[in-house]
Amino acid sequence: MPFTVAIDGPAAAGKGTISRALAQRFGFSYLDTGLLYRATGRKMLDGAQPVEAARALVPEDLDAPGLRSAEVAEAASQVAAIAEVRDALVAFQRRFARLGEGAVLDGRDIGTVICPEAEVKLFVTAAPETRARRRHAELQDGTSFEDVLADVHRRDARDMGRSDAPLRPADDAVQIDTTDLDIDAAVARAAEILNDALARG
């Protein structure tokens, strides 16, 4: 029986790092669903219509260069607010969630919309200033901390305020606040939750 782990949360909270670590530790498949939106956003920046780009997306598009840039991140947040884009990517994610023995998916609406029946749901969050510091350290492209923090606030407002699948914890999600946790402690907490769920069967 496939085992699905849904991990949601705002940008730079640490959900991707935690998700990859859990997938490796438990031998599960891993999908960074944000890359689906980043790849669609990249195509939009290249002149494609967002909905058409989302419908034509193939796994190889997730390996395109430059998907982690600030420009593509902003485009991803824009296309994610389009209901037709989201619809086009839902089936891809749901198929992935039931691959093999188990799968870890991270994003904005995995536990609430994509996989509401997931065996484990986590909501990973952190203070905006903490997330901005992390993202600023990742970028290393000359973008100022103030601009990164403003972008974090913009994306939070858009992701939480959209009418279609807003960012929020699922009712049965376990919240992990990483503001004062290092990555090892955050992964250990998440692994403990998974182990408990697997033990319950």
pLDDT, tens digit (0-9, with 9 covering 90-100), for 10-45: 989 999 999 999 999 999 999 988 899 999 999 999
pTM across the whole model: 0.83
Cα-based angle 143, 38, 43 (whole degrees, multiple of 5): 105
Q: What is the pLDDT of residue 11?
A: 87
Q: What is the pLDDT of residue 151?
A: 92
- Please say whether the structural domain 3-200 has been given the CATH code 3.30.1300.10: no
Residue 112, marked binder: no
Strand arrangement, sheet containing 102-107:
29-32, 102-107, 3-8, 120-125, 174-177
Mean pLDDT of the chain: 93
Q: Where are the domains of the chain?
A: 3-200
Task: Give whole-number Cα distances, 150 to 77, 136, 157, 166, 192, in Å.
Answer: 14, 11, 11, 20, 34
Residue 10, marked binder: yes
Listed in sequence order, the residues at least 6 apart from 172 whose beta carbon sits closer than 8 Å to its beta carbon are 111, 121
Residue 77 or 185, more confident: 185
Residue 186, marked binder: no
Strand residue runs (E) in 3-132: 3-8, 29-32, 102-107, 120-125
Beta bridge partners of 4: 103
Residue 13, marked binder: yes
Residue 16, marked binder: yes
How far does Cα 44 stand from its chain's mean position? 20
- pLDDT above 80: residue 1: no
Within 10 angstroms of residue 55's Cβ, the number of other Cβ atoms is 14
Structure tokens belonging to residue 75: 């485009």
What is the average pLDDT across 65-75?
91
